[in-house]
Amino acid sequence: MKSYNSFAVAQQQVLEAAKLLNLDAATCELLLWPQREFKFTMPVKMDNGGVQVFHGYRIQYNDARGPAKGGIRFHPDETVDTIRALAGWMTWKTAVVDLPLGGGKGGVVCNPRMMSERELEHLARAYVRAVARYIGVDKDIPAPDVYTNPQTMAWMMDEFETIMGAHQPGVLTDKPMQIGGTEGRRDATARGGVITVREACSVLGIDPQKGTYAIQGFGNAGQRAALLHQELLGGGRLIAVCDSRGGIIRPEGLNPRDLVTHKLKTGSVVGFPGSKEIPRESVLELDVQVLYPAALENAINEFNAHKVKAAIICELANGPTTPDADLILHAKGIHLIPDILASAGGVTVSYFEMVQDQYSFFWDEETVHKRLDQKITKAYHTVEEAIKEKNVHPRLAAMVVGVARVAEACKLRGWV
């Protein structure tokens, strides 16, 4: 199996958009690379009394439109190129949804599953001590990502405020509600994705109430999508899901709520009553109306794209489809909703959280959902217009929208 460098994939996407936009060489070169990269070594005292040194990163890709925004991952296979790619995708994502933000990303090479809660707290605080001078509401606003969560953000915010000697809740988003978090954040990524599916069904003349859907990756976004697909679209039958331990299928339909409960209890979707086990990768190849890739990068590639049969692909993961696969899917007539649009609900509600923290005035859940719907719906149709205007596949259209907005900001500032 071919291995993919996520940053090379991300750069290729920028080059294709830049060519369509006729960007000059200097602007193109500027947008191909992160503006700032930080590398840290962090000694952390472990429960056994010893000290372990961890390696961490923070990358601020572009802040022409506003302060950098992006998550922090704790992952054993973290690489600087993965973080560069994710920081770039966040830059285009915030631009596509027209938020006054740039893109950033962070990560620590570690195995959270082998660490105690106390050790994770020590690591979270060590990361903030390393990065504190480079983040802030007007510089860079981190959030959770893979294997980090609202509790991680609470520890990080507390450490930052201790260092700064001031209350600054807006420095991190997706915090617990009690200390400056917002209503509507838990399901924001999946909700934004399902909203784009709703709009796609309308454009394509498809009735989602009668169709089937499958989910690859059953973490937070996948679980929420399983529930929200039926709630927001008025129906649909979930027939297959997979996680890191395996896949399951039930053509008659899986009950999303019971399945989420099973996953939370057992740690996996495998063994769900009434289901049959299938290989994880086969979930991507099922004949369904909607497929949600919600795991890691490069899941759909040149080797399996020709086997994909879904009518609509809604990318809740970051970078789940390679450039080669994009062309194959487009040729097959599959309507792909790219990650920088489909998964933009999370950063949109994180932006709402920042706004509320600044004013110390918080909105109810209905208001958050309504404003999210407006932002995502407008962004979807902006990308649809670009698809028709440029006659290109959906990811390239979304990249054209995002790259054009960032390039314009760079030019207005006189950078290029």
Q: Which pLDDT tens digit goes with each residue over 394-416?
A: 999 999 999 999 999 999 999 99
Q: What percent of the chain has pLDDT over 70?
A: 99
271 phi-psi bin (left φ>0, alpha ψ -120 to 50, beta other): left
Which ranges in the chain are annotated with CATH 3.40.50.10860? 34-168
The pLDDT of residue 2 is above 70: no
Q: How confident is the model at residue 319 (pLDDT cuts 50, 70, 90)?
A: confident
Strands of 140-144's sheet in order across: 36-45, 51-62, 103-109, 68-75, 140-144
Q: How confident is the model at residue 318 (pLDDT cuts 50, 70, 90)?
A: confident
Tokens of 54: 């961890």
Which ranges in the chain are annotated with CATH 3.40.50.720? 188-342
Q: What is the DSSP string of 308-364?
A: ---SEEE--SSS-B-HHHHHHHHHTT-EEE-HHHHTTHHHHHHHHHHHHHHHT----
Active-site annotation, residues: 105
Give the CA dihedral 154, 125, 188, 405, nearest 10 degrees: 130
Helix (H) / strand (E) element for 252: namely: none
The pLDDT of residue 85 is above 90: yes
Please state, as a whole number, how many other Cβ atoms lie within 10 Å of the Cβ of residue 38. 16
Q: What is the pLDDT of residues 325-349, one digit of tens each?
A: 999 999 999 999 999 999 999 999 9
Q: What is the pLDDT of residues 344-396, one digit of tens each?
A: 999 999 999 999 999 999 999 999 999 999 999 999 999 999 999 999 999 99
pLDDT of 146 reads 86
Which CATH code for domain 34-168? 3.40.50.10860
Tokens of 305: 């794209």
Find the DSSP H helices in 97-184. 117-131, 150-164
Q: What is the pLDDT of residues 294-310, one digit of tens each?
A: 987 778 999 999 999 99
142: phi then psi, degrees, rounded to nearest 5: -75, 170
Q: How confident is the model at residue 4 (pLDDT cuts 50, 70, 90)?
A: confident
Q: What percent of the chain has pLDDT over 90?
A: 94
pLDDT of 61 reads 98
Helix (H) / strand (E) element for 168: namely: none
Distance (Å, whole) CA 230 – CA 143: 28
Domain 188-342: CATH class, spelled out: alpha beta
Distance (Å, whole) CA 315 – CA 286: 16
pLDDT of 1 reads 53
| pTM, full prediction | 0.94
Calculate the average pLDDT of the chain: 95
